[in-house]
Chains A and B, each alone.
Chain A
Amino acid sequence: MSEASVRDENVVLRTAGLTKRFGRTTALDGLDLEVRAGEVHAFLGPNGAGKTTTIRILLGLLRKDGGQAVLLGGDPWRDAVELHRRLAYVPGDVTLWPALSGGEIIDLLGRLRGGLDPGRRRTLIDRFDLDPTKKARAYSTGNRQKVALIAALASDAELLLLDEPTAGLDPLMEAVFRDCVNAERQQGRAILLSSHILAEAEALSDRVTIIRAGRAVETGTLAELRHLTRTSVDAELAGPADLDGLPGVHDLVADGQHVRCQVDQAALDAVLGRLHQAGVRALTCRPPTLEELFLRHYSSERSVAGAQR
């Protein structure tokens, strides 16, 4: 078996150099994204970064201007209907038919997709605590989201495309959602989870792609991404430590015997040596949260925008 075909079997979704323009604005500017079979892939980025545009191209709703997009081995534009039998989608802004009840909409979406599991439908309605007899116009944002989620999770899709699926859910329902996603992963389904809720991506995802201004700026497992970043160090010392000017130390705040800073992987040893010399009373070292990773990319975008002004 050649290496290429092994790769293809493992990849359920891939875009390379994907571009999309709306008039004068460029929504996607050469986006590379790859989701492998059986993984939960978080797709992170600030509002307007191009997450929804990417998903809508993958759904064949928008036509790409350039680059490649392969979904489940097919062309998302040309083979839309065939591919949609094998995937389920939850939009970020769930709009439903006001005159239909939640139960009717779940069944309708299931039938349109080619069937859903009645047992799972029942379980999911119970777990998400949804009243299926209410008309959609009476549902809150969170309940509309539940309807779309139940319809998607009750299907037999190989791939789930979830666009900010928990934006309207309360913490209790978010926990249910996480359990469901973990169960799906064990079933071997691939999930593309677009989000700007970082804790969610951190808790759920195997790999992460960070998108900014229509381009992927970072991609990999969380461990790989952390590799690129700094460790937060927070120390109480017996005496003053001299960290000023040490290469690889950033954002240093020295307040008498209290020291806080960000340290590059390579400089950790040297920093710990200096701290030890000063005498350590308390020390916290932690890997950066995804929040910090994210802020770094987001703030660099802002500084770029600021520099242009």
Chain B
Amino acid sequence: MTGFAGTGQLAKLAFRRDAGILPACTAGIVVVVATVARDLKVLYPTEARRLALAQTAGPNAALRFLYGRLAGTSVGALATWRFAVWAGCCSAVLAIFIVIRHTRADEQAGRLELVGSAAVGRQAPLTAALIAAAAANVTIIGLATLWLAALKLGGAGSAALALAIGTCGLAFTGVAAVAAQLAATARGARGLALAVLGAAFVLRGVGDTGPAGLSWLSWASPLGWAEFVRAYGTAGERWWVLAVPLTAGAALAGVAFALAAWRDHGAGLVHGRPGRPAASGLLRGPFGLAWRLQSGVLLGWLAGYVAIFASLGAATKGVGAIFNTSAVLKRYLLRIGYQHVIINAYLSAVMLLAGLGAAAFATSAVLRLRTDETGNVAESVLATATGRIRWALSYCSVAAGGAGLLLAAAGLSSGLGYGVLTGSVGTQVPHLLGAALARWPAVLVLAALAAALYGLLPWESTAVAWAVVSLVAFIALLGPSLQFPAALMDLSPFTQTPRLPGGPVAAGPLLWLCAVAAALGTAGLLGLRRRDVGDLGPFHGVPGRVFRAP
């Protein structure tokens, strides 16, 4: 077993490196599931209400594509319907990032070469990564079981839902382990594993919504397995289904071990295509570079936006009936959408989601300035005849333009989804396109705030910018139902945009949001022009903790 020598040490190192992010992510997934379960309990207190929801939402094909099939009418069954697949996705993403971070990413960066030269077995890094990912999923299972049971949803069902979510993560731990052997780069490995996850989502969605002859497709998907456990189901849980993801995960881990024992260090089985020997005409100047570097990420976002917003748009048709099943939920939706007509409120809330997602993309695109600055790539560009302002503007153009494209995609795809089902493509598409783009100025304010932080407070910019985006999302999504005071609601730029479709339109707020964005952006650029590039901040050099070996 010399292949596994040093696994314990490496696993400890992995836990030490992930000490901050791992508990936060596992807790985050559990908190979201438990909070929604509690909300459902409040929203649908009686069996009659839940039955009404099941009868309206259950047959809705778009919702079935997004969430899967309902297995019962208890509160737990509703929570399972709402979250088995999506929390399964989250635990899968977490597992993919953990495994690849400690295997292929370290190998690509050369860190594993150093580790491998010590008395460490060939299989030890992979084993340590699997232990870390498995520990995260076992934590999710334990916490979710306890929390759901504490909500008095039933012990067996709680354990079954928690296990369905956690075993989905374990299955994708195996997928990621194999991907880390196949691709020669961390980016490639992550892309491969996430593509498998995306395919799993689509397979399950088609299996759940398509004709009966295609329902076997759901069985080909790990997300389908999470659904088929039927936690809190009327007919009882199907415990044996849990063996499927566990077997698949173990088998994939076995394949990964076999590949790792056989392949060369640093090599993959999938070779990247060679690049162009010379730059094309598009790669000219900082703007060409910025768009080229972020085009892959943007295309991924666009694909996700089209899929999700087409589904949400298609779901509009049955929305009135569904929300009529709960007075509380209806009131929430009317508040969050600031509307009196339920369909308009729903669509307005959908566009708010599109705006928040676009703000997240724009913020990450702006903050890439900081990553490239501290990673020294910026130096090569700034040592040429490219001024700092132009360099920073090139990233900001991706943020602003990319956010605009995302909003346009959300408007077009939801308009098509809704319009095709109701035979009103001609009216819905321009209608919803306008509604989506009305959120653009609010997105620009958040992106410009990230730019201002980057210029003026670079060493804290990443943390503060994401904190602001989270706060805005919190205010926009929960403020209306928790009845936040108007002053607090006004802090969110999305409170200022017209509530389309259906609401009144005024040019004033849009113009002054753009003016705020321009002022913040200018402040950031002026700050950048004055400061040192590569500034690590006044607290740089504070000694770190010592990692103690036993």
A133–B289 CA distance with the chains assembled, in angstroms: 18
Is B384 a contact partner of A112 (Cβ separation < 8 A)? yes
Is the pair A103, B279 in contact by a Cβ cutoff of 8 Å?
A: yes
B534 within 8 A of A: yes
For residue B173, CB closer than 8 A to chain A, the reply is no
Q: Which B residues between 285 and 335 are near A, CB-CB below 8 angstroms?
A: 285-286, 289, 292-293, 296
- Decide yes or no whether B2 CB sits under 8 A from chain A: no
Q: How large is the interface on A (under 10, 10 to 19, 20 to 34, 35 or more residues)?
A: 35 or more
Assess the A112–B275 pair: CB atoms within 8 A.
no
- Given the interface pairs A84-B385, A96-B377, A97-B293, the reply to whether A134 lies near B279 with Cβ below 8 Å is no
**For the complex, is B375 an interface residue (Cβ under 8 Å from A)?**
yes
Known: A95-B377, A95-B380, A133-B274. A111 touches B387 (CB 8 A): no
In the bound complex, do residue B283 and residue A135 qualify as a contact, i.e. CB atoms below 8 Å apart? no
Residues of B within 8 A of A23 (CB): 538, 540-541
5 A-B pairs with least C-beta separation: A101-B275, A107-B279, A112-B384, A89-B383, A133-B274
Query: Could you mark each residue 507-543 of chain B with 1 if its beta carbon is under 8 Å from any beta carbon of chain A, else 0?
Result: 0000000000000000000000011111010101100
Instruction: Please pick, from A61, A87, A134, the residue contacting B534 in the complex, using a CB distance under 8 A.
Output: A61
Chain B: residues with Cβ within 8 Å of the partner, total of 42
At the interface, yes or no: B548 with Cβ under 8 Å from chain A?
no
Q: B379 within 8 Å of A by Cβ?
A: yes
Asked whether B550 is an interface residue with its Cβ less than 8 Å from the other chain, the reply is: no
A84 to B391, CA, bound (A): 14
**A271 beta carbon closer than 8 Å to chain B:** no
In the complex, whether A104 has a CB less than 8 A from a CB of chain B is yes
B545 close to chain A: CB less than 8 A: no
B272 at the interface (CB under 8 A from A): yes
Asked whether A137 is an interface residue with its Cβ less than 8 Å from the other chain, the reply is yes
Contact of A134 among B274, B376, B386, B387 (CB under 8 A): B274
B532 touches A62 (CB 8 A): yes
A48 to chain B, nearest CB (A): 13
What residues of chain A lie closer than 8 Å to B289, measured between beta carbons?
97, 108
Closest to A115 in B: B385
Residues of A near B387 (CB, < 8 A) are 80-81
Per-residue 0/1 for B382-398: is the Cβ within 8 Å of any A Cβ (1 yes, 0 no)? Answer: 11111110000000000
Beta-carbon contact of B380 and A61 below 8 Å: no
Chain A residues engaging chain B, CB cutoff 8 angstroms: 22-23, 25, 56, 59-63, 80-82, 84-85, 87, 89, 91, 93-109, 111-114, 132-135, 137-138, 148, 161
B108 contacts chain A at the CB level, 8 A cutoff: yes
Task: From known contacts A61-B532, A114-B385, A134-B274, infer whether A107 and B376 are also in contact, taking CB-CB under 8 Å.
Answer: no
Contact B379 A91 (CB under 8 A): yes
Q: Which residues of B contact A100 (CB under 8 A)?
A: 275, 283, 292
Please judge, given known A-B contacts A101-B276, A104-B283, A114-B385, whether A109 and B380 are in contact too, CB under 8 Å.
yes
Supply 17 further A-B pairs (C-beta < 8 A) apart from A98-B185, A104-B276, A133-B275.
A56-B533, A59-B382, A61-B379, A62-B532, A62-B534, A84-B384, A84-B385, A91-B383, A100-B292, A101-B276, A108-B279, A108-B283, A112-B285, A112-B385, A133-B274, A134-B275, A137-B187
| Contact A61–B275 (Cβ < 8 Å) | no
Interface of B is mostly: loop
Is A137 in contact with B185, judged by CB distance below 8 angstroms? yes
Chain B hits for A80, CB < 8 A = 382, 387-388
How far does the alpha carbon of A182 sit from the alpha carbon of B126 in the complex, in Å?
Answer: 49
* B274 interface neighbour in A22, A101, A109, A161, Cβ under 8 Å: A101
- A63 touching B385, Cβ below 8 Å: no
Q: How many angstroms between the C-alpha atoms of A82 and B381 in the bound complex?
A: 14
Q: 7 A-B contacts, Cβ less than 8 Å apart?
A: A23-B541, A59-B383, A95-B379, A98-B185, A101-B274, A103-B275, A133-B275
Q: How far is the CA of A82 from the CA of B1 in the complex (A)?
A: 63
In the complex, A118 Cα to B292 Cα: how many Å? Answer: 23
B380 to chain A, nearest CB (A): 6
Query: How distant is the Cα of A51 from the Cα of B286 in the complex, in angstroms?
Result: 28
Tell me, rounded to whole Å, the shortest Cβ–Cβ distance linking B23 to chain A. 30
Identify the closest chain B residue to A62 (Cβ): B532
A132–B286 alpha-carbon span in the complex (Å): 21
> Which chain B residues lie closer than 8 Å to A103 at the CB level?
275-279
A82-B385 contact given A109-B380, A137-B185, CB 8 Å threshold: yes
Contacting residue for A93 out of B184, B276, B376, B388, CB 8 A: B376
Inter-subunit contact B272/A112 (CB<8 Å) = no
Structural contact, A85 and B385, CB atoms closer than 8 A: yes
**Chain A residues with CB below 8 A from B279, complex form:** 103-108, 111
Contacts of A161 in B (CB 8 A): 383
> Hey, which chain A residues are within 8 Å of B382, CB to CB?
59-61, 80
Smallest CB gap from A89: residue in B: B383
Q: Which residue of A lies closest to B278 (CB)?
A: A103
Chain B residues with CB under 8 Å of A82's CB are 385
A97 to B538 Cα, complex, angstroms = 29
Residues of A within 8 A of B388 (CB): 80
Closest-by-CB residue of B relative to A148 is B380
Contact residues, B325-371 vs A (CB, 8 A): none
Give the docked Cα–Cα distance between A84 and B381 (Å).
Answer: 10
Residues of B within 8 A of A107 (CB): 278-279, 283
Q: Which A residue sits closest to B108, measured CB to CB?
A: A137
- Contacting pair B275 A113 (CB below 8 A): no
The chain B residue with its CB closest to the CB of A82 is B385
